[in-house]
Structure 1
């Protein structure tokens, strides 16, 4: 079975190991199809995604070359995974395979399902967050790639905050302290993460560290954004002082 990884460098994995998806531009074609796996992507949209507003003179021909080579790559990984011409565009049909982002989206839906308990939510989001292998679509150029990358990074931040809230509510304070420390390296200006870590420190009876963390957040926000902490951080700070 094929696994397509995009939450890091673009990789194609088969039951026998990794299959080289080719150079950066060809991996970009694969990503441009994979974000809409199962749905046709029109040829003009593919060209825009891969080359922005600077396509080569024979863009359609070059695209066909990349698609042909990708068909060979996918066939080597899993014959059920195909790129097919459909509705004026091309569709990546993973069939029995899957992508890491597709798995994340399924896990998010599972965690948000009504009636899902907090412990189950936390465990489900654990599995989703473990799929991140670094910067999404790492090494690929282009405006479209950057837009997708930023969207997925915002999704990861949202998942981290939901994950921490679920674990705090079920008493897994140590996990939140470890996870929030690592997350703040990637999202140093995300106030909700600072707030999550402050709450975890308070829950761990480490009030002085929570106050010191607030000061660190305040200085960083002032230095890099020229703003004061927002209502959530300010309210936490006030509660600690009183």
Structure 2
């Protein structure tokens, strides 16, 4: 085994965090950015950002130097193979002994499942929906009836479909020779074994809570950074294509969480005087959420604070047309108040129009 310092990929006392070590390890194994993104279930721009941090912390000039460093410090061992598991999933020696989350379940987009860094086909969509419900149970056991309600709703089938699906999931997600090492069963029902899986939605919740704490503590740059990390976890519509009432409710909840995080990020950027960044983010969000009046109002305030009064009024006109055409309603008080503030040139803080807590 390498020394702790070597295993952590250090140089001159500099210590990489676990996320940076994952990227350095994958790079040392010969993976390109797209392969690293796929292995770690991350967007490519996040991989590039982490690689940049690695190069900066270690004082390395390019990717080739990083690969050499990964070997020199013992993080990657010759002969281990170019597709071995990343640190944090095993002990780094191919023993198959879990030393952290071995299973990665990504739900902030179409469901993706990776076992020891490799993609796994977890079967038909309802079987995927069963896994999604278990992954989001937060340690609670779900009864057979609860899973039937979550995945099938009122059209619950007869028979033993849930035990069959669980059996199949255990087979394809098997750790070593134990068929029950990923999904446990107790007197209350089924659940994932604690500590065996990393679920992106739970990572999102943690980042959202930390960003809120940073904002309340007055550390606005840290709040922006944590919001950006949380938003980067989204790969499209959450739980895309998964059937059932549970998946539908989670899609709605997570969509609202994404909007709230984007608003928090923009609000903190505006309070830091970073108007251009806030306007860019809010403009993209308003394009995705054309009927969301608080988002449009916040964009109007950001444009006004950036000295772009005409553009702010144009946002009001666009939002008003969409509301009339799609819903047959007039702009509400939130948008009307934002328009009055633009016309008067008020200096009301942008945070007053942020809706919902992330």
Q: TM-score, normalised by structure 1?
A: 0.91
1:86-235 to 2 correspondences below 5 Å: 86-113=186-213, 114-235=216-337
Match of 2:143 among 28, 42, 47: 42
| Unaligned 5+ runs, structure 1 | none
- Residue in 2 aligned with 1:31? 132
Q: 1:82 to 1:37 in 2, by over 3 A?
A: farther
Query: Secondary structure of 1:153's match?
Result: helix
Alpha-carbon distance, 1:105 to partner: 0.5
Query: By how many angstroms is 1:76 displaced?
Result: 5.5
Partners of 1:110 and 1:199 lie apart in 2 by 26
- Structure 1 SS opposite 2:154: coil
Counterpart-to-counterpart distance in 2, 1:152 and 1:16: 25
TM value normalised by structure 2: 0.63
Write the distance in 2 (CA, Å) between the matches of 1:117 and 1:211.
32
Select the structure with the greater relative contact order (CA < 8 A; seq sep ≥ 6): 1
Please list the CA deviations of residues 23-47 of structure 1 after superposition, one character each: whole Å capped at 9, or x if unmatched: 1111011011112131111111011
Q: Distance in 2 between matches of 1:170 and 1:211?
A: 24
The question of 1:62 aligning with 2:161 is answered yes
In 1, distance between residues paired with 2:154 and 2:185? 24
Q: CA RMSD in A?
A: 2.0
Q: Which has the higher helix share?
A: 1
- Matches of 1:97 and 1:89 in 2, distance apart? 18
Per-residue deviation, residues 172-223 of structure 1 (Å, max 9, x unmatched): 2222222222222321111111012112222322111111111111221222
Indicate the SS of the match to 1:233: helix
Distance 1:218 1:211 in 2: 11
Matched, 1:17 2:113: no
Task: From the superposition, tell whether residues 17 and 171 of structure 1 become closer, same or farther in structure 2 (CA, over 3 Å).
Answer: farther
How far did 1:81 drift? 6.2
